[in-house]
Amino acid sequence: MKCTRCRKTQAAVDLPSHHSAFCPECFFVFFRRQVEEGIRNFSLLSPGDRVLVCVSGGKDSLVLWDVLMELGYDTEGLYIDLGIEGYSSRSREKVQSYAGTRGKEPIVVDLHAEGVPIPLAAKSIRKEECSVCGKVKRYFFNRVAAERGFTAVATGHNLDDEAARLLGNLLHWDRDYLSRQHPLLPGAGEGLVRKVKPLWRVSELETAAYGFLKGIDYVIEECPMSEHATSLVYKDALSLIEEKMPGTRRKFYQGFLEESRRWKEEGADEENAAALPGACAVCGAPTYAEVCSFCRLKSRVTNPGDVLKTFYGFQGRS
Ligand code: AMP
Ligand code: ZN
């Protein structure tokens, strides 16, 4: 099959949901345009931004970093070493070697050094690893960005991730999560930096194809802690539908964004227009509570007996 764009070269990537097939060069053009359009649709980034790209060593975030650099954005990479044996050091190597090819040195946060490696943290507070991990990562994404003067934090969530998350939020009718699910989360005050997901328009397959054709070396194994993550079930369910009805995933997510824009215009979620957050009494991070959830977690991990006394002045027990 010939490329549907240049009509000269043999197609290498078949995209039924776009009724197209592209040769590598035309695919790169297509992919970059999709990302640019995704950025433009919601004004995710502007040329003056200093962007902190959160890179896990997986394909999505390395591809994101690559495209943002190609589009001319001022970027640095942030890697969080989660302290997961084997997996974390292998991911870190991929991040460092990719950064090296671009003459960059990633910023690294080591959760062992911070006292909260994920396996220990999850065990200490008897919570599921993925939810603890998500909370800790979000905390450091924002903290590093705020401390170092970045104006935006970018993550590699793609269309498949966002559609799967939407399905999960709908199945549980989680209104709170639904109202906050968006490619753009605006910053607030000095301490809360804008969060963006510039890959929201491109599918996992498109991202993988871009990474492969560009020769980006990424970690292929999944995180060993995410083996039973429910998000994988939602992804599989949507893939099944997508296979029979190409384009459904895109319509599902884009339709949601369109609807949520209308709800916001109609003021349906006025109650969610929260006031500016205050500062955590321990670390100064933005929070709506007295002590932020990361500091509460850290205290429970590093100092199990003391948490109530320390933060709530609870004298009766220790
Ligand atoms: P996940 O939460 O693992 O689905 O990852 C979603 C996005 O979060 C990735 O595309 C990255 O942008 C970012 N991310 C995940 N893990 C890390 C990590 N260890 N260090 C830095 N960024 C990460
Ligand atoms: Zn704190």
Can you list the domains of the chain with their CATH numbers?
Answer: 42-218+225-272 (3.40.50.620), 277-318 (no CATH)
Atom of ligand 1 nearest to the CA of 199: 10
Query: Taking a C-beta distance cutoff of 8 angstroms, is the pair 258, 250 a contact?
Result: no
* Ligand closest to the CA atom of residue 280: 2
Question: Does residue 190 carry a pLDDT above 70?
Answer: yes
Question: Does residue 316 carry a pLDDT above 50?
Answer: no
Question: Does residue 314 carry a pLDDT above 50?
Answer: no
Identify the pLDDT of residue 228. Answer: 77
Going by alpha carbons, the residue nearest to atom 3 of ligand 1 is: 56
Alpha-carbon dihedral of residues 110, 111, 117, 118, nearest 10 degrees?
-100
Q: Rounded distance, CA 258 to CA 250, Å?
A: 12
Question: Does residue 267 carry a pLDDT above 80?
Answer: no
Query: Taking a C-beta distance cutoff of 8 angstroms, is the pair 227, 216 a contact?
Result: no
* Ligand closest to the CA atom of residue 68: 1
| Mutation probe of ligand 1 site: the residue of 35, 51, 55 with most atoms within 8 A of C-beta | 55
Identify the pLDDT of residue 318. Answer: 35
**Pocket (CB within 6 angstroms of ligand 1):** 54-56, 60-61, 78-80, 82, 137, 155-157
Query: Taking a C-beta distance cutoff of 8 angstroms, is the pair 74, 38 a contact?
Result: no
- Extract the tokens encoding 21: 């097939």
Going by alpha carbons, the residue nearest to atom 18 of ligand 1 is: 56
Considering only residues 228 and 260, tell me which one the structure prediction assigns the higher pLDDT.
260
**How does pLDDT run across 269-302, given as a tens digit for each residue?**
555 455 678 999 999 999 989 999 999 999 999 8
| Mutation probe of ligand 1 site: the residue of 155, 196, 218 with most atoms within 8 A of C-beta | 155
Going by alpha carbons, the residue nearest to atom 15 of ligand 1 is: 56
Instruction: Give me the DSSP letters along 96-135.
Output: HHHHHHTT---EEEETTTTT--HHHHHHHHT--HHHHHHH
Q: What mean pLDDT value characterizes the chain?
A: 92
Q: How many angstroms separate the first and last alpha carbons of the chain?
A: 71
In three-state secondary structure terms, 57 is coil
Question: Does residue 201 carry a pLDDT above 80?
Answer: yes
* Beta strands per DSSP E along the chain: 13-15, 20-22, 50-54, 74-81, 107-110, 152-154, 184-185, 194-196, 278-279, 286-287
**How does pLDDT run across 224-258, given as a tens digit for each residue?**
988 778 889 999 999 999 999 999 999 999 999 99
**How does pLDDT run across 69-125, given as a tens digit for each residue?**
999 999 999 999 999 999 999 999 999 999 999 999 999 999 999 999 999 999 998
Kindly report the length of the chain.
318
| Mutation probe of ligand 1 site: the residue of 94, 98, 137 with most atoms within 8 A of C-beta | 137
Identify the pLDDT of residue 270. Answer: 56
Burial letters 4-27, b for 16+ CB under 10 A, else e: bbeeeeebbbebebbebbbbbebb
Residues with CB under 5 A from ligand 2 (ion): 280, 282-283, 285, 292, 295
Instruction: Please tell me what DSSP assigns to residue 156.
Output: -
Question: Does residue 170 carry a pLDDT above 70?
Answer: yes
Order of strands across the sheet that contains 152-154: 107-110, 74-81, 50-54, 152-154, 194-196, 184-185
In three-state secondary structure terms, 287 is strand
Q: How confident is the model at residue 265 (pLDDT cuts 50, 70, 90)?
A: confident
How close is the Cα of 224 to the center of ligand 1, in Å?
A: 14
Q: Rounded distance, CA 245 to CA 260, Å?
A: 24
Closest CA to 208 of 18, 51, 83, 27: 27
In three-state secondary structure terms, 292 is coil
* Ligand closest to the CA atom of residue 55: 1
Going by alpha carbons, the residue nearest to atom 14 of ligand 1 is: 56
Identify the pLDDT of residue 249. Answer: 97
Question: Does residue 138 carry a pLDDT above 50?
Answer: yes
**How does pLDDT run across 50-70, given as a tens digit for each residue?**
999 999 999 999 999 999 999
How close is the Cα of 306 to the center of ligand 1, in Å?
A: 31
At residue 282, what are phi and psi to the nearest 5 degrees? -95, -55
How close is the Cα of 318 to the center of ligand 1, in Å?
A: 36
Q: Rounded distance, CA 90 to CA 225, Å?
A: 15
Burial letters 49-67, b for 16+ CB under 10 A, else e: bebbbbbbbbbbbbbbbbb
